[in-house]
Amino acid sequence: MEAAVLFNQEAEEAVIGSLFLEEDLIKDCTLIPEHFYLARLKRILWAMKRLDEQGKPIDVISVVEQIGTQNLEKIGGISYLTDLAGSVPSTANFNFYQDTVLEYSQKRKAIEIAGRMIEEAKTEEIGSTIHKGIQQLMAIEQNGMDGDSGSILPCLTDIYYDCEMEIGDITGIPSGFNKLDQLTGGFQESDFIVIGARPSVGKTAFALHIAVHAAEEHISLIFSLEMAKKQLLKRAASSLGHISTQNLRNPRKYFDDLHWAKLADAMGKLSLATLHIYDRAAIDISYIWSQVRKMRKTYGEGKKILVVIDYLQLIVGDPKHNQNRQAEISAISRDIKHMARELNVTVIALSQLSRGVESRQNKRPMLSDLRESGQIEQDADLIAFLYRDDYYDRDSEEKNIIEVILAKQRNGPIGTVDLHFHKEFGVFEDVEKGDKVGIEK
């Protein structure tokens, strides 16, 4: 009898069934997972809310995908979901079901508060106990029902259920390099990432590799302020097909049948990639912002978007700064960070380094080597530098090795990852097994 007083299983299941029957109802659903008594229904509503945030349809298949097949037993299996989806003939009584679930949630909280008041009244000062109890009882009606009120409870719920779900180690956009992804967990949405290197070290090739790899599953936008679209696509084809860039300059002279087959395969892969390249001569931040916003609207919230800017110091600044380039770059850096957060995209901006690095004995870049470094260093969530020892020393034992130095990572460790760099193809590869990844806590 006590359980029947504390929750109404039929009403809770009817709410979920209605959301399956008419998926747009999720936008009118003011309930949050904490209002439900049954744990399995809490998880299902959490999954539905997440799907709605991502712009994805709400049905049995999408809910299973969101929760993960490995977690199906916790919600009663696919059969239970299917039963729920077919349990409600009409959504006409949805508001009644929702109000009933809320009412029972309030009853449970009221009983819990009353129980605490009884226990505290035995030992605590009675006036304080009554005052605190009345405040808690008055707050019950507002909890979780006031939309975007700044309440942290829905976010805490998300964090809790995120921890329960098995989502794997890579939560962002993979770079295509296993050891780098071990450090970063992939490039995260809303993050502003800066990749710095001296000229001709390989930063454009590196960013292009990441963008093309990401475009196989996600959306990649490249804003190229230095190279034309055709040049970038030739580089991408060279990398994908392992074709020498020298040979690609004059295919009629240097290509054999194998080269033509490799080129055809590479061009086929590029044609299937969701890759957009913007190569206008003078690009300012407002143009970048408008194009990214357009792509976000086109592809919806459910798609991850990677934005690559090559490179930061070539973006046209606001003339109001009166030729103060440092102020211009600072404003551009802030705008890029705001864009990443507002549009929920991952932004990789390439950056030149100052010549100061050349005057040191150890020429590995540091944060202070970023041009106009102050604001960039503050805004960026992750800063990586590319370093090649054979760039400075032709006799170096580290031939064709490029170091990716994570100098700053707001939400993770810093460290160094070694990659093989095949300059003739513009190809980067993970080093062999057994080579170390340097990680600093």
For residue 65, what pLDDT band results from cuts at 50, 70 and 90? confident
pLDDT at 185 over 60: yes
At residue 289, does pLDDT exceed 70?
A: yes
Which residues of the chain does CATH 1.10.860.10 include?
2-164
Residue 309 is predicted with a pLDDT of: 94
Mean pLDDT score of the chain, rounded to an integer? 83
The helix or strand, by DSSP H or E, that contains position 229, with its residue range, turns out to be: helix 229-241
* DSSP tag of 88: -
> Could you tell me which residues come within 8 angstroms of residue 326 by beta carbon, excluding any fewer than 6 positions away?
372, 374
DSSP labels, 90-124 = -STTHHHHHHHHHHHHHHHHHHHHHHHHHHHHHHS
Please state which of the ranges 158-167, 249-258, 269-278, 319-328 shows the lowest mean pLDDT.
158-167
Catalytic residue among 103, 125, 226, 342: 226
pTM across the whole model? 0.62
Beta bridge partners of 276: 221
Question: Average of pLDDT values for 411-422?
Answer: 89
pLDDT at 3: 43
Residue closest to 166 by CA, chosen among 304, 68, 39, 298 = 68
Task: Please provide the CATH number assigned to the domain covering 2-164.
Answer: 1.10.860.10
Antiparallel, parallel or unpaired: β 382-388 and 427-430: unpaired
Q: With 90 as the cut, is the pLDDT of residue 223 above it?
A: yes
Least confident piece of the model among 289-298, 317-326, 358-367: 317-326
Highest mean pLDDT among 125-129, 237-241, 253-257: 237-241
For residue 81, pLDDT beyond 80 = yes
Active site residue 226: yes
Fold of 178-440: Rossmann fold (3.40.50)
Residue whose tokens read 């409870």: 153
The answer to whether residue 221 scores a pLDDT higher than 90 is yes
pLDDT digits (tens, 9 = 90+) for 314-327: 888 766 656 677 88
Split at pLDDT 50, 70, 90, the class of 306 is very high
- CATH 3.40.50.300 residue ranges for the chain: 178-440
Residue 194 has pLDDT above 50, yes or no: yes
Percent of the residues in the chain that have a pLDDT greater than 70, as a whole number: 87
